[in-house]
Homo-oligomer: A and B are copies of this chain.
Amino acid sequence: MEADVLVVGAGILGLATAYHVLSRDPEANVLVVDRMGDVGQGATAKSAAGFRAGLFTSSTNRLLSDTSVDFYLHIQREEGYDLGMELVGYLILRTKEQFEEIADVAHALEKRGTLKIYRKAELKKMLEMNYEFDGDEEAEILGVKNVDYGLFGVKCGYIDADKLAYYYRDRIKEMGGNFQFNTKVERIIVEPEIKLGIPREPRAWQKVRFAGVETNKGTLKAEKLVIAAGGWTHLLLDPLGIDCISKPKKRQIFTFRPRTEAQKALLNTKGFNDEGILPFTFLPTGHYIRADRRDGTFWFGFSDEIRPFSPDEEPEENYYYDNIYPIMVKYFPQLEGARVDNMWAGLYMLNSVDHNPVVFRRSNMVVATGASGSGILKGDAIGRIAAALLYGETYADLYGGEKIPTNKLEVVGRSLETESFVF
């Protein structure tokens, strides 16, 4: 049987696309195929699943994130479907120099009400940590820098990525969409639009369509194709000579259950949010620490630069002790002795040009990728754009009524605002 729409990848991008395809075309026979045994088991499940609304300088990034976060909040609040969203806030700790680089942006965001700027003196009253490292030779070697400012993103926090994936899965099933799990897509099938029955079709002068995929469980044919295969997207497209300007990097998360009173007190830092918990906190070094309210654990992470592009998903315990612990314990001496309780690794699909997502159409195929670590928090908007593009539309309607040109995230002729709010 040929599907009307075959979606490769049951992560958030594939799910959101399938959902919005069915929302606009309820009669469509939609099949979502994935290598794992259920939805959202790849990078989606491995993500720190932070979300931030309003905290981007690129208007495109802001539009994608704000409308997606609003849609998720709508699900949780109005639909009453628990997505595990916790509005604990983002706390972005900056040195004086780092703050000055984005001071204009920060003040503008503060006026807009999406950001609160804390000075060191205020921070010190709320958050127990080391702020100054002048004369600390070890800190200098480790690149540990003073904390002078804290930028607090109000409409920020984290979501339960599994629950979001299940939400989409259940809606897709309700609307008659199908899933095929445990199926590894090996290649995309290229066919001429008009078959001539000659050898070596398609010839270079023939218009082509993408007729489906070969998998480890046989051929899946489709009228239209969506490639949302996360860290494997480029491996499916490279044989066609289609560049998605995105490559995967492993990103690791290490968790630790607080043992001492001081560690518990850090987890339950008051004053920033109603939950009375440490916000999702980013250090001047790029390291982050997330207090998981439900689990009662700390999550630690750090995005290293020099890291091969590869779909390798194996966590490395050494990475924590080499690259995270020494820095964390400098800032938070109460974490002394924090061993790894649990760890996992997922993939960022990095678009190095502008860190905005990549969505484009070639013939009957739409590709959605390149979310660069913010696929969940922009996922709904990306899905809407991909679905609209698949149906040949020039604008996509985002949640809340805003529109975006469907070619905005196209590779060719790409010219997007560079995001300056990176931390």
Q: Which residues of A contact B (CB under 8 A)?
A: 141-143, 190, 194, 196, 200, 202-208, 238-243, 245, 247, 249, 285, 302, 304-310, 318-319, 322-323, 326-327, 350, 352-354, 411-416, 418
Contact of A353 among B238, B245, B285 (CB under 8 A): B245
Q: Given the complex of chains A and B, what is the CA–CA distance between A285 and B205 in angstroms?
A: 8
Q: Please give me the residue from chain B that is nearest to A285 by CB atom.
A: B205
Report if A352-B322 is in contact (Cβ < 8 Å); known contacts: A205-B142, A205-B285: no
A-B contacts, 18 listed (Cβ < 8 Å): A143-B206, A200-B322, A202-B306, A203-B323, A204-B302, A204-B319, A204-B322, A205-B285, A205-B323, A238-B247, A238-B309, A241-B309, A352-B411, A353-B353, A353-B412, A353-B413, A412-B418, A413-B418
Q: Please give me the residue from chain B that is nearest to A244 by CB atom.
A: B352
Contact of A354 among B203, B206, B413 (CB under 8 A): B413
Whole-angstrom distance between the Cβ of A59 and the nearest chain B Cβ: 14
Taking CB atoms, residues of chain B closer than 8 Å to A411 are 352-353
A-side interface mostly: loop
Taking CB atoms, residues of chain B closer than 8 Å to A322 are 200, 203-204
Taking CB atoms, residues of chain B closer than 8 Å to A418 are 412-413, 415
Q: Given the complex of chains A and B, what is the CA–CA distance between A208 and B318 in angstroms?
A: 19
- B247 in contact with A306 (CB, 8 Å): no
Whole-angstrom distance between the Cβ of A283 and the nearest chain B Cβ: 11
> Which 4 residue pairs spanning A and B have beta carbons closest together?
A413-B418, A204-B304, A243-B352, A204-B323
Q: Please give me the residue from chain B that is nearest to A323 by CB atom.
A: B204
Q: Given the complex of chains A and B, what is the CA–CA distance between A249 and B242 in angstroms?
A: 10
Whole-angstrom distance between the Cβ of A341 and the nearest chain B Cβ: 21
Copies in the complex: 2
- A249 in contact with B241 (CB, 8 Å): yes
* Interface hub of A141, A205, A206, A353 (most chain B Cβ within 10 A): A205
Q: Given the complex of chains A and B, what is the CA–CA distance between A203 and B318 in angstroms?
A: 11
Q: Given the complex of chains A and B, what is the CA–CA distance between A243 and B307 in angstroms?
A: 11
Q: Please give me the residue from chain B that is nearest to A415 by CB atom.
A: B415
Q: Given the complex of chains A and B, what is the CA–CA distance between A245 and B354 in angstroms?
A: 12
Taking CB atoms, residues of chain B closer than 8 Å to A142 are 205
Whole-angstrom distance between the Cβ of A227 and the nearest chain B Cβ: 15
Q: Given the complex of chains A and B, what is the CA–CA distance between A123 and B49 in angstroms?
A: 63
Whole-angstrom distance between the Cβ of A359 and the nearest chain B Cβ: 14
Whole-angstrom distance between the Cβ of A83 and the nearest chain B Cβ: 32
Q: Given the complex of chains A and B, what is the CA–CA distance between A241 and B240 in angstroms?
A: 23
Contact of A352 among B202, B309, B412, B416 (CB under 8 A): B412
Taking CB atoms, residues of chain B closer than 8 Å to A326 are 205
Taking CB atoms, residues of chain B closer than 8 Å to A285 are 205
Taking CB atoms, residues of chain B closer than 8 Å to A194 are 141
Taking CB atoms, residues of chain B closer than 8 Å to A413 are 353-354, 418
Q: Given the complex of chains A and B, what is the CA–CA distance between A238 and B197 in angstroms?
A: 40
Whole-angstrom distance between the Cβ of A364 and the nearest chain B Cβ: 14
Taking CB atoms, residues of chain B closer than 8 Å to A327 are 205
Q: Given the complex of chains A and B, what is the CA–CA distance between A302 and B326 in angstroms?
A: 56
- B353 in contact with A308 (CB, 8 Å): no
- B141 in contact with A196 (CB, 8 Å): yes
- B318 in contact with A200 (CB, 8 Å): yes
Whole-angstrom distance between the Cβ of A314 and the nearest chain B Cβ: 16
Taking CB atoms, residues of chain B closer than 8 Å to A323 are 203-205
- B241 in contact with A306 (CB, 8 Å): yes
Whole-angstrom distance between the Cβ of A71 and the nearest chain B Cβ: 29
Taking CB atoms, residues of chain B closer than 8 Å to A200 are 318, 322
